[in-house]
Structure 1
Amino acid sequence: MSRTLGGLARVVVAAAISLASAGCGMSVLRHTPTILDKDELIVAVKPDQPGLGLRTKQGTFEGFDVDVATYVARHLGKKVTFIATTSEGREAKLNSGEADMVVATYSISPPRKMQVTFAGPYYLSQQDILVRSGTTNIGDVRDLAGRKLCEAQGSISTSRIIEGRGVAAVLVPAPTYSECVDLLRSGAVDAVSTGDLILAGFAARDKGAYTIVHAPFTEERYGIALRHGDVAGCEAVNRAITAMYQTGTAPKLLRKHFGATGLSISTSVPQFEGCA
């Protein structure tokens, strides 16, 4: 009798341990950090890119990236607050918890996917070249050989020229693309190369000062970055991006910010990268 009771007790204890372990596992899954658990999202955007992310004199932010982030947050039923970031500081903003999302012309790449989880892309930009108006000796990426090309910190655009295309441009570093454009204006560099949306914004701001070469040579897949591993949040953001295009909101926003630039704008839903 005692052996039977002892065996039953062991079975009960084992079952309790099994249930507790399962419960712990479920708890871990339930509490994986995700933007879906938040009532308000802190979104990092650029403060100095006209048409995309620009801080106004009143301290607010405006531009296509800002509108995209606002749409996504509202689609998820969240409030949104914006903070500024540079290209170099995007991963740090997420990893430190200072930002929940980054919407800042953040090109998706394999090395970056090791650090953050990308939803989207929300837009497929094409990399092009910006020169001073009147420049006649730069017509495509090959003409950048031996020319002074500005390199914004934290950007991968120049590596696509130097390493990807084997073009031996002379790199001149600058903290941001805004400062790259200042160097272009002063003659300190011969060209700035990155996504055409960024270039179009600067060309529209300073009408007549710059010309886009219109010789695109790579794609810039702009993604919405979340903390690494937030798959549930990523999938929800992808659904929001899809809705943004299907309702005609994305094309409307693109025309609002870039319709007057003469840029050829893509208005179809981009093919997503996948959240895993």
Structure 2
Amino acid sequence: MSKKSMFTKIAATLGATALAGVTLTACGDSSGGGEGLLASIEGGTVTIGTKFDQPGLGLRNPDNSMSGLDVDVAEYVVNSIADDQGWEHPTIEWRESPSAQRETLIQNGEVDMIAATYSINAGRSESVNFGGPYLLTHQALLVRQDDDRIQTLEDLADGLILCSVTGSTPAQKVKDVLPGVQLQEYDTYSSCVEALNQGNVDAMTTDATILFGYSQQYEGEFRVVEMEKDGAPFTNEYYGIGLKKDDTEATDAINAALERMYADGSFQRLLTENLGEDSVVVEEGTPGDLSFLDAS
């Protein structure tokens, strides 16, 4: 299959994904989980928010099934809590949760919890509780496999074009340290990936987890370049599971489930299955330890 044909096929799949997300959102408005996470698990139906358009993390497939690391972690957590309480595994209803809507969905009781590349920060922690973090990732670059010009962040200073999503924090962080970088912004990560594949940009940047997902989807086409500043990772992004503010009991239950997920080897297995062997740069989190917020 030619690259043009491949991306035409992928675009059609993502279009169907977006349509499916709209349908589920419409249904979710009337069935969201306003009773709290534990009550919903006990009641037999849980509404979980995630992304629908991020390969390897949260993706709604053409057959309406869900796949990705965030999806698998969320399912593990919910079923583990049910096992601890002696309840049946609940039915899971998935709700598309774009980044800008996550706090609102939780506060309105439209979802019971959200696992959607949800970085824990001080501002968000004022509005919702976080279980986790369940992983630590860093900002990185995605480049074409056959392009050896980019091996470090500083290589972007040589007149190369960097792509990211319009208004994104990762793009701004690069511009802060490399003011001369040429920045090309698109509305979606998938548009950046297509532009990168076609040679219209030289690299794209966001969390390494997201980039590993695309690298895994387009096997052999891209590679992930780690970014450092003064010998340390360029950024630290701690992914958590968002839920209703001050629901301490459910937060503790999530953290206990995450600890079990590490102990029985499930996390490393799910990480490799979804993001590939090279994703070892993505680290386990320390559930319940939010001390990093004090330094932010």
Common topology (TM > 0.5): yes
Structure 1 position 129, deviation (Å): 0.5
Check the 8 A contact 2:136/2:237 in 1, yes or no: yes
Do the aligned partners of residues 185 and 167 (structure 1) sit closer, same or farther apart at CA in structure 2, a change above 3 Å counting? same
Structure 1 position 48, deviation (Å): 2.0
Structure 1, residues 206-258: CA drift from partner, whole Å, max 9, x if none?
12322212345222211111133333322221111111111221122122223
1:113 aligns with 2:129: no
Task: Provide structure 2 residue ranges, at least 5 long, that are not aligned to the other structure.
Answer: 1-33, 83-88, 229-233
1:161 aligns with 2:174: yes
Q: How many residue pairs are counted as aligned between the two chains?
A: 243
C-alpha separation in 2, matches of 1:192 and 1:169: 12
Partner of 1:13: none
Indicate the SS of the match to 1:88.
helix
Task: Provide structure 1 residue ranges, at least 5 long, that are not aligned to the other structure.
Answer: 1-31
Partner of 2:164: 151
C-alpha separation in 2, matches of 1:33 and 1:135: 52
Letter in 1 for 2:39: D
Indicate the SS of the match to 1:119.
strand
Partner of 1:49: 54
For the aligned residues, what is the CA RMSD? 2.8
Partner of 1:26: none
Check the 8 A contact 1:88/1:155 in 2, yes or no: no
Partner of 1:59: 64
Partner of 1:8: none
Partner of 1:12: none
Range moving further from structure 2, 131-140 or 244-253: 131-140
**Percentage of identical aligned residues:** 35
Matches within 5 A, 1:235-254: 235-254=252-271
Partner of 1:73: 78
2:249 to 214, 225, 232: 232
Check the 8 A contact 2:58/2:116 in 1, yes or no: yes
Indicate the SS of the match to 1:107.
coil
Matches within 5 A, 1:179-258: 179-216=191-228, 217-258=234-275
Partner of 1:34: 36
Return the structure number with greater helix share.
Answer: 2
Letter in 2 for 1:58: D
Check the 8 A contact 1:127/1:218 in 2, yes or no: yes
1:175 aligns with 2:192: no
